[in-house]
């Protein structure tokens, strides 16, 4: 990622911290959105009489439910989230947009001056953490971070707090 950022950096500017994050709603929301559809599938199965006595459990119902949850999760990520590599330099905060699934950088999407108060909120959960970043124009960018990026996000949070 540093190679992609090298042409955009000013002379003498260096990257202090960086992490991969998703901008958009919480990824858990996509799983919750699949609940009504899963309920309908299970309800239709029960209305049709379920499995006949002695036949055991039908495998298609749990497989269909898992497939629905996976489709909602992947579809939600593809449609409603954008992945960014957030880099904090000595003077700026850079958001490098990446491709949806391969995470290859496509270019700098946003560049803001480093300033105090840019970090509104930082929470770390069991699987997904959250950073709320205030842009200079007043908009708030919600960044969701997966557990494997927690050490990098901690460095980004500390760099933003030290601004």
Domains observed in the chain: 2-24+81-161 (2.30.29.30), 29-78 (no CATH)
Mean pLDDT of all residues in 62-73: 84
Q: Would you state the pLDDT for residue 52?
A: 58
H/E element, 11: none
pLDDT bin (cut points 50, 70, 90) of residue 118 is confident
56 vs 32: CA distance, rounded Å: 29
- Asked if the model's pLDDT at residue 5 lies above 70, the reply is yes
Question: For 68, phi and psi rounded to 5 degrees?
Answer: -65, -45
Return the ∠ at Cα 29 (arms to 23 and 32), rounded to 5°.
Answer: 165
Mean pLDDT of all residues in 100-128: 82
Mean pLDDT of all residues in 40-60: 67
Q: What is the pTM of this model?
A: 0.73
Q: Would you state the pLDDT for residue 92?
A: 92
Higher pLDDT, 61 or 13: 13
Q: Give per-residue burial for 88-116: e unless 16+ CB within 10 Å, then b.
A: bbeebbbbbbbeeeeeebeebebebebee
Contact 133, 120 (CB under 8 A): yes
- Asked if the model's pLDDT at residue 94 lies above 80, the reply is yes
116 vs 16: CA distance, rounded Å: 16
């Amino acid at each position: 990622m540093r190679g992609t950022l090298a042409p955009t950096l000013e002379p003498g500017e260096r990257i202090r911290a960086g992490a991969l994050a998703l901008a958009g709603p919480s990824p858990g929301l996509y799983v919750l959105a699949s609940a009504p559809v899963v309920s309908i599938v299970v309800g239709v199965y029960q209305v049709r009489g379920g499995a006949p006595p002695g036949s055991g459990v039908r495998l298609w119902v749990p497989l269909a439910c898992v497939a629905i949850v996976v489709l909602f999760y992947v579809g939600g990520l593809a449609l409603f989230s954008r992945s960014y590599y957030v880099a904090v330099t000595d003077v700026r905060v850079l958001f490098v947009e990446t491709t949806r699934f391969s995470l290859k950088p496509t270019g700098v999407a946003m560049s803001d001056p480093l300033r105090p108060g840019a970090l509104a909120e930082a929470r770390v959960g069991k699987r997904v953490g959250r950073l709320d970043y205030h842009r200079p124009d007043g908009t708030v960018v919600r960044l969701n971070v997966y557990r494997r990026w927690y050490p990098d996000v901690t460095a980004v949070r500390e760099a933003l707090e030290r601004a």
